Amino acid sequence: MSRKHADKKSPEPAVAPAQAAGTGTPNPADDPQKGEAPAQPIDPLKAANARAAENWDRLLRATADFDNFKKRVARERQEAVTYANVALLQKLLPVLDNFEMALAAAGNAPEAAAQSLQAGVAMIASQLRGALAEAGLEEIDAAGKPFDPNFHEAVSQQDSADIPEGHVLQQLRKGYKLRERLLRPASVIVARKPSPPPETATIEPGD
């Protein structure tokens, strides 16, 4: 057999099975997850505890808000009951003023003609005051007291040497309040210190 024929039948080099199947040593550049730490799994128990704590906090806030709402409603209801007669009393105050003026006028009338009128008006005024007092009406007595802008309405000021400055010199109209709520301030004249008399110039002889 010739040499030329023997060269044609020489076997070709075999391909490694790992290379043929593509299972050779992988290229690190081809694996994107190469070198990264594996993701930690979420603990279901911790997640459930976090949700439970959040829901509990929301429940506490909602309960506190509801308690505050109930207290506010109860307070407003109590105030509505306490001051339910405000409008009625304000309408009756001028009537009480007219009774007092009638009593004053009757005191200046002739004695024979005014005694019966004065007695009748005094009885009606007393009944009215009693009814208003039972409803919670209180008079504001301002005469001779320090001026209080919360309960007094200053109409004017007047010099006085007897009443201290800043005190009520005269009460023109009574004030009233319903328990702790002011219905009408007392109209008053406030005393002030008299101004010193002007100095008189002395004329020297020979001027």
Residue 9, in any domain of the structure: no
Percent of the chain past pLDDT 70, that is, above it, reads: 73
CATH code (residue 154): 2.30.22.10
Residue 165, in any domain of the structure: yes
- Does the pLDDT of residue 132 top 80, yes or no? yes
Residue 46, in any domain of the structure: no
Residue 133, in any domain of the structure: no
pTM, two decimals, is 0.49
The pLDDT, as a whole number, for residue 175 is: 94
The pLDDT, as a whole number, for residue 131 is: 83
Percent of the chain past pLDDT 90, that is, above it, reads: 22
> Mean per-residue pLDDT for 169-192?
92
- Does the pLDDT of residue 20 top 50, yes or no? no
- Does the pLDDT of residue 18 top 50, yes or no? no
Q: How confident is the model at residue 21 (pLDDT cuts 50, 70, 90)?
A: very low
Residue 101, in any domain of the structure: no
Average model confidence (pLDDT) for the chain?
77
Residue 171, in any domain of the structure: yes
Residue 78, Cβ density class (10 Å: 0-12 exposed, 13-18 middle, ≥19 buried): exposed
Please report, for the chain, how many H helices and E strands are present, in that order: 5, 6
State both tokens at 108.
């200046």
- Contact present, 170 and 189 (Cβ < 8 Å): yes
Rounded to whole angstroms, the Cα distance separating 156 from 175 reads 16
Residue 61, in any domain of the structure: no
- Expressed as residue numbers, the domain containing 184 is 138-195
Q: Which helix (H) or strand (E) holds 128?
A: helix 111-134
pLDDT tens digits, one per residue of 28-48: 555 555 555 555 566 788 888
- Does the pLDDT of residue 1 top 60, yes or no? no
Q: How many domains does the chain have?
A: 1
One-letter amino acid at 160 equals: S
Residue 70, in any domain of the structure: no
Residue environment code for 142-153, b if the CB has 16+ CB neighbours within 10 A, otherwise e: beeeebeeebbe
pLDDT tens digits, one per residue of 51-90: 888 889 888 899 988 889 888 888 888 877 777 778 778 8
